[in-house]
Amino acid sequence: MQKNRPFAPRIASGIAFAVATVSILYVSQHSEPAPTPAPEAAPPSWTPGPDPLKLPQGMPEMGNQHGDVAIASNGDIYVSLMQGLRSGVQVYSADGTYLRNVKDAPTDFHGFVIHKGADGEFIYGPQLNAGKIVKLTLEGEVVMTIPGESIPKEYWQVNPKNQQAALRLTACTVAPNGDIYVTDGYASDRVHRFNAKGEYLATFGGKAAPYNFKTLHKIAIDTRFDPPRIVGTDRANNRVVHLSLEGELLGEIATDLLMPAAAVVQGDLLAVGEIKGRITVFDKENRVVTRLGANPNPQEVGTNKIEPAQWKPGVVNAPHGVAFNAAGDIFVSEYSVHGRVLKFSRATPVAAR
């Protein structure tokens, strides 16, 4: 028996090895396979098409356009025109057919939005020349007017030549809670805030530090974040900035742009129209997703004088307004004495391989 003792540990270890081997084989044969990682979605992309709007008979061009474009929840396309046969706000169906003009809509909507809230869907816009803000039904009934005098005179811009104080309201946006924000982009570069009833709440921004704005041209609510933020196109500074809803300057989204003039948000995407001839789309991390419609000819950008014969399909000249429809297509209204809207169609997303 003494002679067998040295071999006992070897027998035990051999038994343990055999059991472990059988266990491993059993587990490997009966365990669920490791899940295969889901393929990442391909980055969004857009394709240019022909100009989407079909002008009605007897109207050779849209008209003098220094305005905006917005899409209603039913897909109708709204475009503001300063002058022309059908100046004011023109309405086209989703397929581009002219439907009507918005009754009693002003001709000085430099920037406007369509916002759907608890009380319905409405057009909100400041009047560039009249210096007031109006809220309209989609048919054109005026349901609220905010007079410029609601804004304290200390925030108006004083003309050094005649010492007259004035407002030059260029755009507005509406927060999820109904608060209305209006930018005085052609005068003080300040943003004025009102509640849903049109009551004045506050003013922030301006040309002085820390904002240092130079033509805060248009603004939009950035719902990519919680709480939402304000996107401001600081045109002459070639940058786009983030502001809190209370007016704090949060930082720069992008710099070295081509005079950004308009912005719109959908999902995790921010589209910026640059009046010097380009559309840039950013993701939620403010990385460039793509650039659309870039015009390489410096003689054709930033001007409203380009003749229709010089227009190129899918190439912009002076983007002044941008909008998404429900499908993610991007519409661009130009700064143009003739009036022009372009469309970039969202490609169907597919999984990357």
- The answer as to whether 7 is a domain residue is no
The whole domain housing 277 covers: 46-346
Between the CA atoms of 182, 238, 302 and 87, what dihedral angle is there, to the nearest 10 degrees? -10
Within-domain flag for 12: no
User: In degrees to the nearest 10, what's the CA dihedral of 254, 255, 261, 262?
Assistant: 0
Q: What is the pLDDT of residue 42?
A: 80
> DSSP string spanning 141-184?
-EEEEE-GGGS-GGGSEEPTTT--EE----EEEE-TTS-EEEE-
Q: What is the pLDDT of residue 163?
A: 81
Structural tokens at position 61: 């061009």
67 with 111: CB under 8 angstroms? yes
Residue by residue, DSSP assigns 232-265 as: EEEGGGTEEEEEETT--EEEEEE-S-S-EEEEEE
pLDDT at 14: 47
Residue 1 belongs to some domain of the structure: no
Whether residue 16 lies inside any domain: the answer is no
pLDDT at 145: 98
The count of domains in the chain is 1
CA distance to 5, 10, 224, per residue, from 289 (Å): 74, 65, 15
Q: Which residues contact 117 (CB under 8 A, 6 or more apart)?
A: 174, 178, 196
**Residue 29 within any structural domain of the chain:** no
What's the CATH number where 161 sits?
A: 2.120.10.30
pLDDT values of the chain reduced to their tens digit, one per residue, 353 residues:
333 333 343 434 443 444 444 444 444 444 455 565 656 668 899 999 999 999 999 999 999 999 999 999 999 999 999 999 999 999 999 999 999 999 989 999 999 999 999 999 999 999 999 999 999 999 999 999 999 999 999 999 998 888 889 999 999 999 999 999 999 999 999 999 999 999 999 999 999 999 999 999 999 999 999 999 999 999 999 999 999 999 999 999 999 999 999 999 999 999 999 999 999 999 999 999 999 999 999 999 999 999 999 999 999 999 999 999 999 999 999 999 999 999 999 997 644 43
pLDDT of residue 37: 60
In a domain, 17, yes or no: no
Q: Is residue 303 part of a domain?
A: yes
Q: Which pLDDT belongs to residue 43?
A: 86
User: What would the pLDDT profile of 285-324 be if each residue is shown by its tens digit?
Assistant: 999 999 999 999 999 999 999 999 999 999 999 999 999 9
* Residue 207: inside a domain: yes
- Please tell me the predicted confidence (pLDDT) of residue 34: 57
Query: What integer pLDDT is reported at residue 263 of this predicted model?
Result: 98
